[in-house]
Amino acid sequence: MARGKSAAKDTRKNSKGAPPAPVEATPTPPEAPLAKRRPARVRPDIASLPAYVPGARGDGRAMWKISSNENPAHPLPGVLAAIADAAEDVNRYPDMYAVELTEAIARRLGVGPERVVCANGSVSALAHVMSAACLSGDEVVYPWRSFEAYPITVQVSGATSVRVPLTAEARHDLPAMAAAVTDRTRVVITCSPNNPTGPALRDAEFREFLAAVPEDVLVVLDEAYIEYVRDPDVVDALAILADFPNVVLLRTFSKAYGLAGLRVGFAVGDPAVIAAVRAVSTPFGVNALAQRAAVESLRLERQLLDRVSETVAERERVLEAVRRAGWDVPETEANFFWLALGRDTVPFVDAAHDAGLLVRGFAGEGVRVTIAEPEANDAVIRLLREWKRS
């Protein structure tokens, strides 16, 4: 099976590479019947939450999983060693505030550690920002389509979503977003590069937008894919933070740093805002393995970012081939690209599946394709050429 392909087969081994020793299985008790009484009451609006759709999984066949914008490269040996070392102490709680990691991130970004808070993935950092900022009835403005966690996080916080459609070029419509801000708006979320469409925000347009947003409205800048950006005119987030204390930056170790499975991300902002986010954060929210792996990843950043450059080179190769085959693909600064297939979305997802490719479809809208190993990318190019010819 090719590296990076996923299959249902269980290939777990212990650290020495030998299969796990057989252990006597604990007998499974019969499933307990449900009580006849009514279950306790939960918030009625939870039933209407849109489901977060995880990237597709294979059906046992070896498939290229290009549905979750993951990094195709395995962790560096140094990162694996840090994880193994930390694993020896998992009988202990992790450092509650991830102090070493927080300080390492702060040093890397050139800000004080009181301006950084770590979380169990940047999606948790976003949820904590919402808890810290929103009360029931408040409004949160965000572009749509964008990252599917936004509507869920907003609704869970008790706030109301105000979605602003993307432009025809699949970019944020920043003037329309500024116009959507009302007295009830507490937070505006921006995503650069935008998942799932790809374009990144430019510095000049973002500064103009921030100047139009009231100072007491929090503006989240989600930069999950920032390491893949090559356009020199995109938002300079750290300079923006220095000028606009109402901006909170979200970043992650899940993508460029290849630690999606460990769950670690962080928020950077004004110390008062970050203190509030820390106050509502899940205690011990970042596990010890993630803390150690992230610190080591920052130490080995050069090597990791070289791998990112390989993905960026692949992105340019794929986009050129795909556009040459007649596809209209929006500009992308991320490790994925967008195909606005509309009604053809579901048939395309099925055709990709038949070709051994797990892509992420958004029914009626389009398909997001992750840039992965060259072999997977070649299969994508082949499929897109054939689809145009058929």
* Contact status: 293 vs ligand PLP (CB under 6 A): no
- Torsional sign, CA 302, 121, 236, 271: negative
What's the farthest any 2 CA atoms get from each other in the chain?
66
Structure tokens at 75: 């962790």
Query: Would you state the torsion angle of the CA atoms of residues 38, 43, 44, 46, taken in this order, to the nearest 10 degrees?
Result: -120
Cβ 120 to ligand PLP shortest distance, Å: 8
- Residue from the set 71, 157, 195, 281 that interacts with ligand PLP by CB under 6 A: 195
* Contact status: 122 vs ligand PLP (CB under 6 A): yes
- Residue from the set 198, 258, 265, 366 that interacts with ligand PLP by CB under 6 A: 265
DSSP at 274: H
Q: Which is nearer to ligand PLP, 4 or 198 (CB)?
A: 198
Binding string, 165-194, against ligand PLP, x = CB under 6 A?
--------------------------x---
Scan residues 199-238 and list those touching ligand PLP (CB under 6 A): 222, 224
Using alpha carbons, select from 221, 220, 231, 189 the residue that is nearest to residue 332. 231
Using alpha carbons, select from 71, 101, 107, 74 the residue that is nearest to residue 86. 101
Asked if residue 121 lies in contact with residue 252, where contact means CB atoms within 8 angstroms, the answer is yes
Q: Which is nearer to ligand PLP, 335 or 387 (CB)?
A: 335
| φ/ψ (deg, to 5) at 358 | -95, 105
Binding string, 35-74, against ligand PLP, x = CB under 6 A?
----------------------------------x-----
Determine the Cα–Cα distance for residues 290 and 82; give it in Å rounded to an integer.
Answer: 9
* Contact status: 291 vs ligand PLP (CB under 6 A): no
Q: Which is nearer to ligand PLP, 4 or 265 (CB)?
A: 265
Stretch that binds ligand PLP, among 14-22, 89-97, 121-129, 267-275 (CB under 6 A): 121-129
Cβ 222 to ligand PLP shortest distance, Å: 5
Using alpha carbons, select from 202, 196, 194 the residue that is nearest to residue 223. 194
- Residue from the set 64, 142, 147, 244 that interacts with ligand PLP by CB under 6 A: 147
Cβ 154 to ligand PLP shortest distance, Å: 14
Q: Which is nearer to ligand PLP, 122 or 246 (CB)?
A: 122
Looking at beta carbons, which residue is closest to ligand PLP?
Answer: 121
Segment holding 3, helix H or strand E: none
The position carrying tokens 């009181």 is: 114
First-last CA distance in the chain? 29
